[in-house]
Protein backbone atom coordinates (compact mmCIF):
# COMPACT_ATOMS: atom_id res chain seq x y z
CA UNK A 1 0.00 0.00 0.00
CA UNK A 2 1.28 3.45 -0.88
CA UNK A 3 1.77 6.06 1.81
CA UNK A 4 3.16 8.73 -0.52
CA UNK A 5 1.72 8.60 -4.02
CA UNK A 6 3.80 11.55 -5.23
CA UNK A 7 7.09 9.78 -4.51
CA UNK A 8 5.90 6.19 -4.75
CA UNK A 9 6.74 5.39 -1.12
CA UNK A 10 5.06 2.29 0.25
CA UNK A 11 4.43 1.42 3.89
CA UNK A 12 7.45 -0.89 3.86
CA UNK A 13 9.63 2.00 2.61
CA UNK A 14 8.46 4.26 5.44
CA UNK A 15 8.85 1.43 7.96
CA UNK A 16 12.43 0.76 6.85
CA UNK A 17 13.28 4.45 7.25
CA UNK A 18 11.76 4.44 10.74
CA UNK A 19 13.76 1.33 11.66
CA UNK A 20 16.86 3.15 10.42
CA UNK A 21 16.19 6.03 12.80
CA UNK A 22 13.78 8.42 11.07
CA UNK A 23 11.97 10.51 13.68
CA UNK A 24 10.30 13.00 11.32
CA UNK A 25 8.64 12.73 7.92
CA UNK A 26 11.52 14.81 6.54
CA UNK A 27 13.90 12.04 7.64
CA UNK A 28 11.84 9.51 5.70
CA UNK A 29 12.01 11.63 2.55
CA UNK A 30 15.75 12.21 2.98
CA UNK A 31 16.39 8.49 3.41
CA UNK A 32 14.63 7.82 0.10
CA UNK A 33 16.21 10.82 -1.63
CA UNK A 34 12.98 12.67 -2.31
CA UNK A 35 10.92 15.43 -0.75
CA UNK A 36 7.31 16.15 0.12
CA UNK A 37 5.20 17.25 -2.81
CA UNK A 38 1.55 17.62 -1.76
CA UNK A 39 2.20 16.58 1.90
CA UNK A 40 -0.98 14.49 2.16
CA UNK A 41 1.17 11.62 3.44
CA UNK A 42 2.78 13.53 6.31
CA UNK A 43 0.02 12.76 8.85
CA UNK A 44 0.19 9.04 8.12
CA UNK A 45 3.99 9.10 8.36
CA UNK A 46 3.81 10.90 11.70
CA UNK A 47 1.40 8.25 12.98
CA UNK A 48 3.68 5.45 11.79
CA UNK A 49 6.66 7.11 13.49
CA UNK A 50 4.73 7.54 16.73
CA UNK A 51 3.53 3.93 16.63
CA UNK A 52 7.09 2.75 16.02
CA UNK A 53 8.43 4.79 18.92
CA UNK A 54 5.73 3.44 21.24
CA UNK A 55 6.49 -0.14 20.20
CA UNK A 56 10.19 0.45 20.80
CA UNK A 57 9.48 1.93 24.23
CA UNK A 58 7.34 -1.08 25.17
CA UNK A 59 10.02 -3.46 23.95
CA UNK A 60 12.63 -1.66 26.05
CA UNK A 61 10.66 -2.16 29.27
For the chain, domain boundaries: 2-60
Rounded CA-CA distance 38/36 in Å is 6
pLDDT at 30 over 90: yes
Q: What is the pTM of this model?
A: 0.88
Distance of CA 45 to the CA centre of its chain: 4
Give percent of the chain with pLDDT exceeding 90: 84
pLDDT band at 22; cut points 50, 70, 90? very high
**pLDDT value, residue 46:** 97
User: Under CATH, which architecture does the 2-60 domain have?
Assistant: Orthogonal Bundle (1.10)
pLDDT band at 57; cut points 50, 70, 90? confident
**pLDDT value, residue 55:** 86
Amino acid sequence: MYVCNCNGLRKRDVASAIEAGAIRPRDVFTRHQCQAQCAKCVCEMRQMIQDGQQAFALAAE
